[in-house]
Structure 1
């Protein structure tokens, strides 16, 4: 089982690099060419979501992407350090920097998860007070060989 780990600062410009690396590793792992576009889009959504959560929570830790080549499948796990429950800010003075409201952050989060679910058949989302993970997997060419 080969694994590639990618860590990047929570900045939108690094999402493209994560998509490109994921597609290259998936191709090498034997994921069918016909699903590579969907894989790139799903990774982009998951990484963009993680970057957005880090930004909304003021986190400086990196976003983590694990690319794992299994015997019959290829999996990607995108991890963030944002707590699972987003507390609503009670008092925001006009001088404070404008931050997205919890409702708009939640709506964007839900939209991103819906897009990922539409692109990937095997997806799992977990979240707790220490952060969240989106796990996605695709069959490889060796999975279809008897």
Structure 2
């Protein structure tokens, strides 16, 4: 199991780099070519969301992207350090000035692109975990 980890300051110009790296690592891991655009778009949306959350709450911390080549799946985790300021009772972390509709739309895009997605929030921030099957590997249910 190999992992590539990126950490970048929460600036919009770094999102493009994260998308490009995610697509390259996914290709190398064996994700089917037909899915690479979905990987790129989902990572871009998750990173844009993390950057937006950092900027809304004024946090200088890093956005973390972990790309892991597992035995049967390719796993991507995007984690922010925006904390739980203004956290809704049962939803993603958003800042005091956050637009819940904007955040909901971003998560809807991600769930539309990724079949296996999990969003968790905590006091430190939120984590979006997404995974795709590797080419030639059948999921057994």
CA contact (8 A) 2:56 2:97 kept: no
Structure 2: gaps spanning 5 or more residues: 88-94
Q: Which is bigger in relative contact order (C-alpha 8 A, separation at least 6)? A: 1
**What is residue 78 of structure 2 aligned with on the other side?**
78
1:34-113 correspondence to structure 2 within 5 Å: 34-86=34-86, 101-102=97-98, 104=99, 106-113=100-107
Q: Structure 2-normalised TM-score?
A: 0.88
Instruction: Report SS of the residue matched to 1:107.
Output: helix
CA contact (8 A) 1:72 1:142 kept: no
CA distance in 2, matches of 1:137, 1:23: 13
RMSD between aligned residues: 1.8
| Larger radius of gyration between Structure 1 and Structure 2 | 1
CA distance in 1, matches of 2:32, 2:76: 15
Q: Structure 1-normalised TM-score?
A: 0.85
Kindly state the Cα deviation for residue 84 of structure 1 after the two structures are TM-superposed.
2.8
Q: Which runs of 4+ in 1 moved over 2 A?
A: 99-102
CA contact (8 A) 1:71 1:142 kept: no
Kindly state the Cα deviation for residue 85 of structure 1 after the two structures are TM-superposed.
4.2
